[in-house]
Structure 1
Amino acid sequence: MKKLIEQLTEGQRNEVKRQMAIYSQGVQEIIPTEELESKIARSIMENRPLKIKLGLDPSAPDVHLGHTVVLNKMRQFQENGHTIQLIIGDFTGKIGDPTGKSIARKQLTDEEVKHNAKTYFEQFAKVIDMDKVELHYNSAWLSKLNFEDVIQLAGKITVARLLERDDFEERMAFNKPISLHEFFYPLMQGYDSVMLECDIELGGTDQHFNILMGRHFQEKFGKEKQVALLMPLLEGLDGVEKMSKSKKNYIGIDESPTEMYGKAMSIPDGLMSKYFELITDFKPKEMKEIKGQLESGSLHPRDAKMLLAKTIVRMYHGANTAEKAEQHFISVFQQGAMPEDIPTITWDGESKVPLIDLLVKLQLLSSKSEARRMIENRGVKLNNIKAEDTKLEVTVSAGLIVQVGKRKFVKIITGE
């Protein structure tokens, strides 16, 4: 490594340092760091872009900010001229990644894979330049393997190594079944790296085992081993669980600007630095300044959160829209004004209805028990007046504005 660096000009050495600083920002683990630096140095010396791999099994096509942690890192590589290899697991997706699962995952059909992949492309285009991405479907090589090929591939890994995987180890401990086909998932993901001769593979820390399989099989097939860049998992708005749509603690990149801004303002103060680092497009120097100001107290947490919320909206909806979303938040949530663009719903039901039933029928809350709790917590307003009685009977008339929490508004239009 030292000899390679010595062959570079001063300008080239500075470029290696610059790229290393960018790629290291926010990363949980680089395996190994010195190999990444060496690959960047050779890339500069030979004027050859690195191949950066991201594998996807399109099982849940709704992209949220948690997914963009890896996408933003891909964008950084792309901005420096490196090649993004996006692998759609149309073959592996039919098996399902066992990561984090206590039971075998549902196997996807061809139609589900194609539909989900198309949705991914549309949403990824908001983060990376899809016109400059190499798209690969791993069925192109995996479906051509015959049984002898599969046996030879399986012979390059031990059962003991596969059982080191936390998911399998946990299932074994609790006598839960492991299907044989699940053992082949990490083998196939590793074989993807062999076929594409990837230099670097990106993923979350939960993909540690799968990504290291790429290094293992590249070595077994006589290839140069890829470097693993593992990104931390982003906690959701609750500040505890990993961001997930099922946990309802997410910010989707397709959400409306006002919804996105409002949700961002509920991010716990303790997570702001992490959000700035992982899901915004600030440069390392700018990030350092923001962190320093937060730690010294010169930047108020409220102001930092507004900057974060505005940045998130700007990245997915544009600067002008971000400005409007901020003004909307200030007028509605800080000054107590009613929003101008309240959605309307035509009411054809009874003129008098229990408040709990009204909230559920308007789809402002998903269940009567949830509606009852919201009323008890003083989170429901009728025409800007708090409703505190869970047994309240509401007279439904044209113009009635029902508000739940800080962001949900509905204006009633009667069917008469």
Structure 2
Amino acid sequence: MENFIDKLSNNQRKEMERQFEIYSTGVQEILPAIELKNKIAKSIFNEVPLKVKLGLDPSAPDVHLGHTVVLNKLKQFQDNGHIIQLIIGDFTGKIGDPTGKSAARKQLTDEEVKHNAKTYFEQFGKVLNTEKVELHYNSEWLSKLNLESIIHLAGSITVARLLERNDFSERYSSGKPISLHEFFYPLMQGYDSVALESDIELGGNDQHFNVLMGRHLQEHFGKEKQVVILLPLLEGLDGIEKMSKSKNNYIGVDEEPNEMFGKAMSVPDELMIKYFELATDLSLDEKKKINEDLEKGNLHPRDAKMLLSKTIVKMYHGIEASKRAEGNFKQIFQKGELPEDIPAIEWVGGDQIGIIDLLVELKLQTSKGESRKMIQNGGVRINGEKVTDIHENISVENEMVVQVGKRKFVKLKM
């Protein structure tokens, strides 16, 4: 690639350095960093925006803060006028990404892919300006490949190279089956970059092999190679495992403000800076100031966590909802009072009901097993009184307040 850095004026070079600092902050790795600088320089010199790609495997419809790490980085590119290419893997989703899996992934149906993709895009609108996003489905080009084209594509990589992937090598060495179609997933994902002539591809650090495949295939097809930016994975509220709905350690972007605020307040102290860095839209200077103040003792960790919680709620629900959630949290946890805005539900059941059935009926718990466990752990209260008997029958009254855990409240209306 031609060197554009040396062609820049002093002001253009300052702009290049400004953008590079923004894009390189909070990332795991840039492959290679000098090429990213040169691509930014080329964009500035030619006044042509970069094409920044993110591939999405629509295997589940729910988006949590862990997913927004890469979205926040995309927004930085979007804020500087670059083109965001979101690729819905409707074709590759039917293969199933084998990354990190000890067995073949379930292949999705067309209906599942379309439903999940629609939900994804709606939730991504909370971070990105979706009106300025290029949305692609990779079936646009992958379904048109004939057998000859696929064989040519497969000829660009060796089996030995594919087996370098940890998940494949571990399954191979332990005698677990690997279906031939699974080898095609990284090839298909890489071909997306060829079809769209992407300049940059973003991904989590668990996608290292897949995103580098795009760079490899672009070179194979005689195109300018993309730069790869890998982002760290965000640990969940347990502080150990990657944020995941299945681990129940997540903050969902669609959760109501009080729940979101309360969950953010439970982020482990040692992860606060990482959450500020990866999961908020604060400026680079604001993040540096928070870090410095915490290190010098000028900012108490509790106050920092309040700021983190307010910032997260504001990003997804607005400033007024953030203020209300803060007030609600202080009222419950600092003053020991009931929140003012308890949601009211009209009760149409009988006058008597078992406590377990009541919790499930009110959708405060998803199952009788979860309800039983919550009661046994002392997490259920009726009008402020703790319920300890899983077999207790409740006399339903008007204005009765049912509380589950620290953040779920419901007021019954007869």
TM-score bracket, normalised by the shorter chain, equals: over 0.9
State the 1:358 CA deviation. 4.1
Aligned mates of 2:91, 2:374 — CA distance in 1: 45
Amino acid in structure 2 at the alignment position of 1:351? Q
**Conserved in 2, the CA contact under 8 Å of 1:16 and 1:41?**
yes
Could you tell me how far 1:401 is from its partner in structure 2? 1.8
Q: CA deviation at 1:128?
A: 0.8
C-alpha distance in 2 between matches for 1:398 and 1:61: 37
1:222 paired residue number = 222
Is 1:213 matched with 2:213? Answer: yes
Corresponding position of 1:299: 299
1:15 aligned counterpart, secondary structure: helix
Asked if the contact 1:347–1:412 (Cα under 8 Å) also holds between the matched residues in 2, the reply is no
Instruction: Check conservation: 1:90, 1:113, Cα contact below 8 A.
Output: yes
| Maintained 8 Å contact 2:4/2:45 | no
User: What letter corresponds to residue 169 of structure 2 in structure 1?
Assistant: E
Q: Give the secondary structure class of the aligned counterpart of 2:229.
A: strand
Letter in 2 for 1:97: D
Q: Is the 8 A contact 2:352 2:393 kept in 1?
A: no
Question: Aligned residue for 2:266?
Answer: 266
Deviation readout 1:358-377 (Å, 9 max, x if unpaired):
44454433455544543444
Looking at structure 1, the residues matched to 120 and 390 of structure 2 have their Cα atoms a distance apart, in angstroms, of 43
In structure 2, distance between residues paired with 1:195 and 1:43: 20
1:366-405 equivalences under 5 Å are 366-368=366-368, 370-388=370-388, 392-405=392-405
- 2: CA distance, partners of 1:102 / 1:167: 7
Cα pair distance change 1:169/1:282, threshold 3 Å? same
State the partner residue of 2:119.
119
Q: For residue 244 of structure 1, what is the amino acid of its counterpart?
A: S
Alignment map for 1:60-139 (pairs within 5 Å) = 60-139=60-139
Task: Give, in angstroms, the shift of residue 3 of structure 1.
Answer: 6.3
Letter matched to residue 184 of structure 2: F
Alpha-carbon separation, structure 1, partners of 2:223 and 2:121: 30
Change (3 A) 1:345 1:302: farther
Q: Give CA deviations for 1:223-264 in whole Å, capped at 9, x if unaligned.
A: 111111011111111111111112221111111112211111
Structure 1 distance, partners of 2:274, 2:346, is 39
Return the alpha-carbon distance in structure 2 between the equivalents of residues 38 and 3 of structure 1.
7
Q: Does 1:52 align with 2:55?
A: no
Instruction: Name 2:275's counterpart in structure 1.
Output: 275
Structure 2 counterpart of 1:238: 238
SS of aligned partner of 2:75 = helix
Q: 2:364 aligned with 1:348, yes or no?
A: no
Structure 1 residue 17 displacement after superposition: 1.0
In 1: Cα distance, 2:63 partner to 2:27 partner: 20
Is residue 104–residue 182 contact of structure 2 (8 Å, CA) maintained in 1? Answer: yes
Tell me which amino acid in the other structure corresponds to 2:185: Y
Q: Per-residue CA shift, 1:141-194, capped at 9, x if unaligned?
A: 111111111111100100000011111112112221111001001001111111
Whole-angstrom CA distance in 1 between matches of 2:369 and 2:111: 38
Task: Give the equivalent residue in structure 2 for 1:323.
Answer: 323
For residue 357 of structure 1, report the CA deviation from its aligned partner.
5.0
For the 8 Å contact 2:52–2:201, the answer to whether it is kept is yes
Q: Secondary structure at the match of 2:347?
A: strand
In structure 1, the residue matched to 2:158 is 158
2:197 aligned residue: 197
Q: Secondary structure at the match of 1:55?
A: strand
Q: Structure 2: how far apart are the matches of 1:249 and 1:345? A: 31
TM-score (norm 1): 0.94
Alignment CA distance shift 1:371-1:88 (3 Å): closer
How much is the aligned-residue C-alpha RMSD, in angstroms?
Answer: 2.0
Shift in Å at residue 289 of structure 1?
Answer: 0.6
- Contiguous gaps of at least 5 residues in structure 1: none
Please tell me whether the aligned partners of residues 3 and 38 of structure 2 are also in contact (alpha carbons under 8 angstroms). Answer: no
Alignment check: 8 A CA contact 1:351 1:397 kept: no
* Structure 1 residues 238 and 190, CA gap change in structure 2 (3 angstroms): same
Alignment-mate amino acid for residue 20 of structure 1: F
Unaligned residue ranges in structure 2 (runs of 5+): none
User: In 2, are the aligned partners of 1:345 and 1:410 still within 8 Å (CA)?
Assistant: no
In 1, distance between residues paired with 2:314 and 2:55?
27
- For residue 381 of structure 1, give the secondary structure of its aligned residue in structure 2: strand
Does the Cα contact within 8 Å between 1:253 and 1:316 map onto a contact in 2? Answer: yes
Matched to 2:177, the amino acid is: P
Farther off after superposition, 265-274 or 384-393: 384-393
Contact 2:400/2:411 (<8 A) preserved: yes
**Larger deviation: 359-368 or 293-302?**
359-368
Equivalent residue letter for 1:198: S
Identity within the alignment, % = 68
> How many correspondences in the alignment?
413
Q: Deviations over 1:370-399 (max 9, x none)?
A: 445434443222211334455655444333
Greater displacement, 399-408 / 206-215: 399-408
Distance change in 2, residues 1:391/1:115 (3 Å): closer
1:181 aligns with 2:181: yes
**Residue 10 of structure 2 corresponds to which residue in structure 1?**
10
C-alpha change, 1:328 and 1:85, in structure 2 (3 Å) is same
* Distance of aligned partners of 1:385 and 1:83 in 2 relative to their CA distance in 1, 3 Å threshold: same
Quote how far apart the aligned CAs of 1:33 are. Answer: 0.8
Instruction: Answer whether contact 1:21 1:284 (CA < 8 A) is retained.
Output: no
Q: Which residue of 1 aligns with 2:148?
A: 148
Tell me the residue number matched to 2:170. 170
CA-CA distance at 1:314 after TM superposition: 0.9
Q: How far is 1:86 from its partner?
A: 1.1
Does the Cα contact within 8 Å between 2:190 and 2:217 map onto a contact in 1?
A: yes
